[in-house]
Structure formats: structure tokens, C-alpha cells
């Protein structure tokens, strides 16, 4: 195969070979600051069951120097070191930690993808100059992760496959565009991340390195190992490429502020958010855009990341609105921002932006009412949560519990719904404003099976009926229901104390509900609402 660079993309591969053991090491001392007690601690490995046998999944640095390696049977490792400290593998905890590292890597680029269970891929195209150059970016990233207690291997290349393979071959490698084939040639085939069966097949054929495989004709390799393997080789040499799949979509607009010394107080954080909001609004204004979703991210000096988001019903184009929404959000947090040793980077991003059309305003004093209501809804949603501030939209149905649909007010369409609200009448309402969801079963004593109740028991309280109106018969909507339902007969009931209720009998006596011998087979009754 002949190498030819097809693009100018730059991918930074990141490999955390001891992620499982580093998770425990970081809870105590840093690996670089060993103490006598640390030196006396038994060698630590993480094991999991594979093919009905316990296998070493990861090992710490001391165990690695003692000859233990991932993939080794646990029995062999214990024979070498009887006092081995064995920990059960917890892939979920490892995934949580890897995602936390990926969140921290967002400070370098918004395009971060997971690479297996212990690696990351960062698309740093066009980002390296913000940190000096690629070498400085690589040094900054690896040094920071090392201080946080991780064993790190990183490399930069023009494709994701090449970058991933180079991290397995050594740390700190930076491959110039078009030099991928030369760089990956001495690496073992397993570094490409292909299936173990392919690696074993190539090893049996005497092909152990990528360079030896590249010396064969692609048609021979495709016939034996499939076109997918040939595609991986082309990506490893830079002849072809496949985009990475970032964990999060890149924000439309983003601004951030680095601090030479970490900050920890709201007296610094809020003014910083205000300054970032000015920059963000100015950038969006030049493009005629407004933000519908804003995210503030706080990067702690120890690697943790805290993020808060606010959504808006109308595009935000004013700085004071951004400040007000985030101030409400910060005040309402049940778990306040924990600065730890301080934040060294604060970022404000417009995750969702839309085009804004300026409207011509007259002298009508009510012209801004819709904007004021939208701002009030956004403020309440920031404090209480978007799902707790809702608007009810009328629906084209006669089933009571489906007559209105609760929609978060920030996501309400401009149309009122499937049907208009019924006109208000001067007479007392036929249906209550408050419905029980779901309707609650009650015990009813009626004079005749299909008549109104004479008394009923609801929530262990007996109510004697003084007046009754009905029935109002509502049949099931058979064209919408997945399963056939029963017809309801609703009654408006007033008890001897003057309380008014709305209850119904579920099923028609004698047709939908048949009487049985012994007095069973009676329709069921439910309490559905209360009148004011």
C-alpha cells in the first residue's frame, strides 16, 4: 500500500492503560509521590471472569514491573505474587471515570469521542494554535492527566486509527501529515484495534507487524480477512479516513475564560459569566442569531467539570437576560457548585441557536407583553425546572383526562392545539377544573344498578348523596384506543355537607358488565374530579 494523505484533519489519541487501577490509586496518594506505607502495600490488580476463568484486566505500575500483565490468568499472577491485592472489575465505574475525563478534555476541543473502554479520540483540527502548537497541547494534556493520577499515553496523527495505534506504541508521538504509513509500520497488528481472530490469523501466517501486513496485496488480505480489515489498514496509513463520533454535538457558539490562578467564589464567577455573555451575544448578533439553550461549564483544577444549562422559549439576544437566567439557576441549585481547589476555566456555550428576525414596534404599550411572559416563563423554568412550568393545550377528544395536554411552556407551539378551548358559559361548569390522575376507586350503594348512587365511600369516608345530576354518557374512542374500553356514565354529586364530586360508573350494566349468580358482576365506580 502507498501512503497518501487525504485530508488535513488532526486527531489526538489518548490511552489510559491503567484506568481500572488508577481509579483506586487516585483515592490515596499520587503514583509519583510514593511513601513507605505505599511501597509496602501489596501489588494491586483488577480481575474479571473471561471464558469461565479469572483473568487480569488491569494492573498497577508496581505489579507491571513485577511481571504481571493484562490478559494473564489470575492464578498465574498469584503464583508469581502470593500477596496480590485483587479487586473485582467494575466496568460501570470505569465508564463513569472515562466520561469524566472526556468532559475535562472538552477544554481542548468540543469534538471528543470514546475509544473503547480505556481510550479517547480528540479532533484537534484548528485547535492546536490556541495552546501554542501540537507539541505544547500534547504536553499540557498529558502532564495535567498525570498530575491527576492517571497513566497516560497520547499521540497525534491525521486519522483516528493511526492515532489510536500510535498510543499503543509509545507516548508523545506526533506524526506529520502523510507520514502515517511510516509511523505505524513497526507497530504490532493488535495496536490497530482489529478483532483478535484476525490478529491470530496474521500471526500464524508470520505477519506480526503492521509493516509486514502492508507489504501484502490488498486483494490477498481482503480475500482472507475481509474488506473491513483492508479499510482499517487504509485508515492507518492515511490513504482513507473515517470521522470520529463525538459524545456531544459541537456548540454553535462558544467562549471561555482561562484563569492563571483558580477562582472559587461567586463574586468572581458571576461577573465572568456576564463578560462571557457579552462576547457570546456579540458573536451571535453578527450572524443574526439568538440562543435557545445556553450551557455554562466550570472546569476545576483537579479535573472535575460542573455544567449547568438553561433553555429559553424565545431566542435570547440580550446580555442581561443571560445574567438573570444563570443567577436564578445558581440560586436554585440543590447541589451548589463545588469549586474544590477552584475553577481554572469557565466556558459559556450556545448549544442551540436560531435565526432572529427583528420586528417593527409601534406605540402600542402591549406589544412587549408576549416577550415579558416568555421571559417570566424562562425565569421560572430556570429556578423550578423546565418540566414544572407547563401550559395546557386543548385536544380534539371528549375523553376527560385527554382533553388537555400539558406541554413545557418553553416548547409550546404557536398554535393553540388540536382544538380551541370551549367558550365560557355563565352557568356552573359541567366538569370540574381539578381531575384526579388516575381516577380513584370508590364503593357505591345505588338504588338500581344503572342509577345514581345513594351513598359512596371514598378514602374511608362515607358520603350520603343529597343531589345527583346525570348521567353524562361518554363512550370510548375505539378508533384511537389500542384495546376496547367500557362506556362511562358520569354523575355530578352533592353530598349532605355541600361538597360536590364528579364520579362515573365504568361499564353499562346488562350489556358491557353482565350480572352473575350470587350478586357479583357489578360495574365499578370511580372518583374522577372535585368541584370548587
Residue closest to 232 by CA, chosen among 194, 195, 181: 194
Q: What is the pLDDT of residue 279?
A: 93
Predicted local confidence at residue 2, as pLDDT: 43
Which residues neighbour 455 within 8 Å (Cβ) at sequence distance 6 or greater? 444, 445, 462, 463, 464, 465
In 217-286, alpha helices (H): 218-225, 227-236, 266-286
Strands (DSSP E) found in 288-358: 289-300, 305-316, 343-355
pLDDT, tens only, 277-323: 999 999 998 888 888 888 999 998 888 888 888 888 788 888 888 88
Q: Residue 368: what pLDDT?
A: 65
Q: Which pLDDT tens digit goes with each residue over 252-281?
A: 899 999 888 888 888 888 889 889 999 999
CA–CA separation, 467 and 510 (whole Å): 25
So what's the pLDDT on residue 215?
A: 87
pLDDT of residue 220: 85
**Residue 134 reports pLDDT greater than 70:** yes
Contact 156, 125 (CB under 8 A): no
Could you tell me the pLDDT band of residue 413, with boundaries at 50, 70 and 90?
Answer: low
Question: Which residues are CB-neighbours of 92 under 8 A, at least 6 positions away?
Answer: none
Comparing 38-42, 159-163, 341-345, 496-500, the range with the smallest average pLDDT is: 38-42
3-state secondary structure of 258: strand
Q: What share of the chain is helix, strand, coil (3-state, %, to 5)?
A: 30, 30, 40
pLDDT at 366: 59
Determine the pLDDT at residue 34.
Answer: 46
Residue 521 in contact with residue 515, Cβ under 8 Å?
yes
Contact assessment for residue 232 and residue 161, using Cβ atoms and an 8 Å cutoff:
yes
Determine the pLDDT at residue 1: 46
At residue 13, the pLDDT reads 92
**Adjacent-strand bridge partners of 49:** 54
Q: Are the CB atoms for 158 and 180 separated by under 8 Å?
A: yes
pLDDT at 152: 92
Mean pLDDT of 165-169: 88
pLDDT of 440 above 90 = yes
Cell of 142: 498529558
pLDDT of residue 81: 87
- Residue 145's pLDDT is 92
pTM of the model: 0.71
3-state DSSP call for residue 223?
helix
What is the pLDDT at residue 242?
A: 84
Q: What is the pLDDT of residue 113?
A: 92
Backbone angles phi, psi at 426, to 5 degrees: -75, -20
pLDDT at 464: 93
Work out the percent of the chain whose per-residue pLDDT is above 70. 89
Task: List pLDDT tens digits, range 184-241.
Answer: 889 888 888 888 888 888 888 888 888 888 888 888 888 888 888 888 888 888 888 8
Percent residues over pLDDT 90 in the chain? 21
Q: State the pairing for strand pair 44-50/85-88.
A: parallel
Q: Which residues pair with 526 in a beta bridge?
A: 441, 504
Greatest CA separation found in the chain? 96
Cell numbers at 178, concatenated: 502523510
Angle, helix 319-332 to helix 266-286, in steps of 10 degrees: 140
Residue 39 pLDDT > 80, yes or no?
no
Averaged confidence pLDDT in the chain: 83
Position 304 scores a pLDDT of: 85
482 burial via Cβ count (<10 Å: 0-12, 13-18, 19+): exposed
**Mean pLDDT for the stretch of residues 506-530:** 77
| pLDDT surpasses 50 at 85 | yes
Q: What is the distance of C-alpha 162 from the center of its chain? A: 29
Residues in the chain, total: 532
Amino acid at each position: 500500500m502507498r501512503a497518501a494523505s487525504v485530508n488535513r484533519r488532526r486527531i489526538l489519541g489518548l490511552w489510559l492503560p491503567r484506568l481500572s487501577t488508577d481509579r483506586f490509586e487516585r483515592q490515596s496518594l499520587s503514583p509519583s509521590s510514593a511513601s513507605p506505607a505505599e511501597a509496602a502495600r501489596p501489588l494491586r490488580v483488577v480481575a474479571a471472569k473471561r471464558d469461565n476463568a479469572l483473568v487480569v484486566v488491569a494492573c498497577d505500575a508496581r505489579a507491571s514491573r513485577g511481571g504481571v500483565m493484562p490478559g494473564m490468568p489470575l492464578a498465574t499472577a498469584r503464583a508469581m505474587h502470593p500477596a496480590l491485592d485483587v479487586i473485582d472489575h467494575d466496568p460501570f465505574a470505569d465508564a463513569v471515570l472515562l466520561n469524566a475525563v472526556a468532559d475535562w478534555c472538552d477544554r481542548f476541543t468540543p469534538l471528543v469521542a470514546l475509544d473503547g473502554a480505556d481510550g479517547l479520540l480528540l479532533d484537534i483540527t484548528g485547535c492546536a494554535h490556541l495552546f501554542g502548537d501540537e507539541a505544547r497541547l500534547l504536553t499540557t494534556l498529558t502532564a495535567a492527566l498525570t498530575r491527576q493520577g492517571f497513566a497516560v499515553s497520547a499521540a497525534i496523527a491525521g486519522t483516528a486509527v493511526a492515532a489510536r495505534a500510535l498510543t499503543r506504541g509509545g507516548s508523545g508521538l506526533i506524526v506529520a501529515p502523510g507520514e502515517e504509513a511510516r509511523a505505524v509500520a513497526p507497530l504490532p497488528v493488535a495496536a490497530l484495534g482489529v478483532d483478535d481472530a484476525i490478529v491470530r490469523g496474521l500471526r500464524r501466517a508470520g505477519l506480526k507487524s503492521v509493516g509486514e501486513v502492508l507489504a501484502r496485496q490488498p486483494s490477498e488480505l481482503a480475500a482472507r480477512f475481509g474488506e473491513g480489515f483492508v479499510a482499517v489498514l487504509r485508515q492507518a496509513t492515511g490513504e482513507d479516513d473515517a470521522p470520529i463520533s463525538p459524545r456531544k454535538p459541537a456548540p454553535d457558539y462558544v467562549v471561555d475564560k482561562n484563569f492563571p490562578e483558580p477562582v472559587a467564589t461567586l463574586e468572581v464567577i458571576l461577573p465572568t459569566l456576564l463578560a462571557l455573555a457579552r462576547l457570546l451575544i456579540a458573536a451571535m448578533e453578527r450572524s443574526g442569531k439568538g440562543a435557545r439553550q445556553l450551557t455554562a461549564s466550570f472546569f476545576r483544577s483537579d479535573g472535575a467539570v460542573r455544567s449547568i444549562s438553561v433553555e429559553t422559549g424565545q431566542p435570547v439576544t440580550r446580555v442581561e437576560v443571560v445574567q438573570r437566567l444563570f443567577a436564578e439557576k445558581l440560586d436554585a441549585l440543590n447541589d451548589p457548585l463545588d469549586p474544590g481547589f477552584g475553577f481554572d476555566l469557565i466556558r459559556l456555550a450556545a448549544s442551540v441557536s436560531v435565526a432572529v428576525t427583528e420586528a417593527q414596534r409601534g406605540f402600542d404599550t402591549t406589544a412587549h407583553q408576549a416577550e415579558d411572559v416568555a421571559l417570566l416563563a424562562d425565569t421560572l423554568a430556570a429556578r423550578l425546572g423546565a418540566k414544572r412550568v407547563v401550559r395546557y393545550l386543548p385536544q380534539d377528544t371528549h375523553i376527560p383526562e385527554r382533553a388537555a395536554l400539558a406541554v413545557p411552556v418553553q416548547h409550546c407551539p404557536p398554535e393553540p392545539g388540536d382544538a380551541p378551548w370551549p367558550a365560557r358559559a355563565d352557568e356552573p361548569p359541567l366538569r370540574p377544573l381539578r381531575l384526579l390522575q388516575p381516577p380513584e376507586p370508590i364503593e357505591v350503594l345505588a338504588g338500581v344498578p344503572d342509577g345514581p348512587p345513594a351513598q359512596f365511600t371514598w378514602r374511608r369516608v362515607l358520603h350520603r348523596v343529597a343531589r345527583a345530576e346525570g348521567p353524562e354518557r361518554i363512550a370510548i374512542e375505539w378508533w384511537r384506543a389500542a384495546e376496547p374500553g367500557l362506556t362511562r356514565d358520569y354523575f355530578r354529586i352533592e353530598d349532605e355537607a355541600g361538597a360536590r364530586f364528579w364520579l362515573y360508573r365504568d361499564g353499562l350494566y346488562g350489556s358491557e358488565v353482565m350480572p352473575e349468580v350470587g350478586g357479583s358482576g357489578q360495574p365499578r365506580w370511580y372518583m374522577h374530579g372535585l368541584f370548587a
